[in-house]
C-alpha cells in the first residue's frame, strides 16, 4: 500500500460532505477504491442516488517527486479546461484547497460509468479494442486544441513553467534527474549522462510552437469504457488528470501506447486525424521527440517507487525491468545523431 495515500475516517468524511453539500446531506454508502499509488480515492453515495468519487491528496509535507506539488489542483484545472472540448471527463462537483479540515486538498468528482480498460480489454474483440483505441485518440486530439498560457506544469510556481517548450521540458528533465540523485535511484546510466544525452536533441523541441493541453497519463487504467444501448463499446471516462502539462501533443502517445508498439495500432493515428484536428505526422524529428518523451516517462516510473513506501523484491524486480526498457530507449536516442 502506498505511503502517500491519506486515508480518512467516517467522521472526517462527514465533515468533507457537510463542507461541500451542507449539514443535512446524508452518506448512504462509501468505500475506498483500490489501485493507484498517489491519491486516496473513495466511492461515495449521497442521498438516494448521487454517486461521487472523493479524492484526497497526499499530506502536503511529504517529500515526493519535484513535479508532484499541488497535483490535485492541476487535476481540477485539467478537468475544467478539458470539459470545454470533451464530454468524457468527470465533473468537478466540489473542490476544496483550504486544508483546514483534514490538512490537505480534496475533491468530489462525478463517478464515470463503466470499467477501466486495463481490466476489461481482454473481454473485447480485436475490432472493439481497435475502435476504443481510435476513440481515445480522437478525445486526445480534442484535448490538444486547448492552449495554455505557457509551457510546462501549471499552477505550482514550477521552474518548468516557461515561455518555450525547449526550456520547459529541459527543466522537467532536470527535476526528475535531480530526484534520481536525491533518492539514490538505480538507472541504467548516471543521471548527468542521461541529461547530457537528452540535451543534445533539445533543438528538436523548438518545432513545438503552441502549448497544448496534454494529459500524459492515458494508459489503460485511466480510461473507462462501457457498452452503449446499441451494444457498442464506447469510452466513458478519462480520469486522473493530475499529471497534465502544456506542451507537445506528441507526448500523449507515450502513455496511450505504454509498452506497446504504435506501429502495430494504426487506429490511434487514424482516430486522431478523424477528430478533424491536426494530424500527427511521424517524421524523423517527431520520432526522436517521441523517444525523448518516452525516456522522461520511464524515468518517472523508475524513480517514483522510492517515494511511495513500496519496498521488497517485487519493487526491485519491477524497477529492474523498467531500467531495461529505459536503457533500450536511451540506446535508440544515442544511435541517432542530432540534426
- Domain spans of the chain? 10-110, 115-334
pLDDT tens per residue, the chain (339 residues)?
567 889 999 999 999 999 999 999 999 999 999 877 789 999 999 998 899 999 999 999 888 999 998 999 999 999 999 999 999 999 999 999 999 999 999 999 999 999 999 999 999 999 999 999 999 999 999 999 999 999 999 977 789 999 999 999 999 999 999 999 999 999 999 999 999 999 999 999 999 999 999 999 999 999 999 999 999 999 999 999 999 999 999 999 999 999 999 999 999 999 999 997 778 999 999 999 999 999 999 999 999 988 887 777 788 888 899 999 999 999 998 786 555
Whether 115-334 and 10-110 are alike in CATH topology: the answer is: no
The correct answer on CATH 3.90.1200.10 for the domain covering 115-334 is yes
Binning the chain into helix, strand and coil, the percentages to the nearest 5 are 45, 15, 40
DSSP string, 254-315: HHHTTTS-GGG-HHHHHHHHHTTSPPP---HHHHHHHHHHHHHHHHHHHHHGGGTT--SHHH
The fold for domain 10-110 equals Phosphorylase Kinase; domain 1 (3.30.200)
pTM over 0.85: yes
Amino acid at each position: 500500500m502506498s505511503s502517500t495515500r491519506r486515508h480518512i475516517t467516517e467522521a472526517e468524511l462527514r465533515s468533507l460532505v457537510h463542507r461541500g453539500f451542507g449539514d443535512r446531506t446524508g452518506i448512504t454508502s462509501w468505500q475506498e477504491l483500490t489501485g493507484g499509488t498517489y491519491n486516496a480515492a473513495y466511492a461515495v453515495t449521497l442521498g438516494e442516488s448521487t454517486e461521487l468519487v472523493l479524492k484526497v491528496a497526499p499530506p502536503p509535507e511529504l517529500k515526493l517527486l519535484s513535479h508532484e506539488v499541488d497535483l490535485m489542483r492541476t487535476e481540477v484545472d485539467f478537468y475544467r479546461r478539458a470539459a470545454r472540448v470533451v464530454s468524457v471527463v468527470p465533473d468537478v462537483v466540489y473542490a476544496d484547497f483550504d486544508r483546514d479540515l483534514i490538512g490537505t486538498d480534496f475533491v468530489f468528482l462525478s463517478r464515470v460509468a463503466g470499467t477501466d480498460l486495463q481490466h476489461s480489454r481482454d473481454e473485447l474483440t480485436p475490432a472493439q479494442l481497435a475502435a476504443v483505441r481510435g476513440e481515445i485518440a480522437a478525445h486526445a486530439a480534442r484535448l490538444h486544441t486547448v492552449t495554455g498560457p505557457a509551457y510546462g506544469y501549471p499552477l505550482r510556481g514550477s521552474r518548468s513553467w516557461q515561455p518555450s517548450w525547449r526550456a520547459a521540458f529541459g527543466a522537467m528533465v532536470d527535476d526528475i534527474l535531480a530526484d534520481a540523485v536525491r533518492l539514490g535511484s538505480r538507472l541504467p546510466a548516471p543521471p548527468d549522462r542521461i541529461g547530457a544525452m537528452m540535451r543534445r536533441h533539445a533543438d528538436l523541441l523548438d518545432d513545438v510552437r503552441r502549448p497544448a493541453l496534454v494529459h500524459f497519463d492515458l494508459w489503460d487504467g485511466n480510461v473507462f469504457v462501457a457498452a452503449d444501448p446499441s451494444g457498442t463499446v464506447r469510452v466513458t471516462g478519462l480520469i486522473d488528470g493530475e499529471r497534465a502539462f502544456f506542451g507537445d501533443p506528441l507526448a500523449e502517445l507515450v502513455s496511450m501506447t505504454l509498452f506497446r508498439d504504435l506501429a502495430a495500432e494504426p487506429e490511434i493515428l487514424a482516430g486522431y486525424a478523424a477528430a478533424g484536428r491536426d494530424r500527427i505526422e511521424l517524421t524523423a524529428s517527431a520520432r526522436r521527440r517521441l523517444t525523448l518523451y518516452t525516456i522522461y516517462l520511464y524515468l518517472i516510473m523508475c524513480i517514483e517507487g522510492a517515494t511511495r513506501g513500496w519496498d521488497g523484491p517485487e519493487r526491485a524486480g519491477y524497477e529492474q525491468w523498467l531500467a531495461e526498457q529505459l536503457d533500450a530507449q536511451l540506446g535508440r536516442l544515442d544511435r541517432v545523431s542530432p540534426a
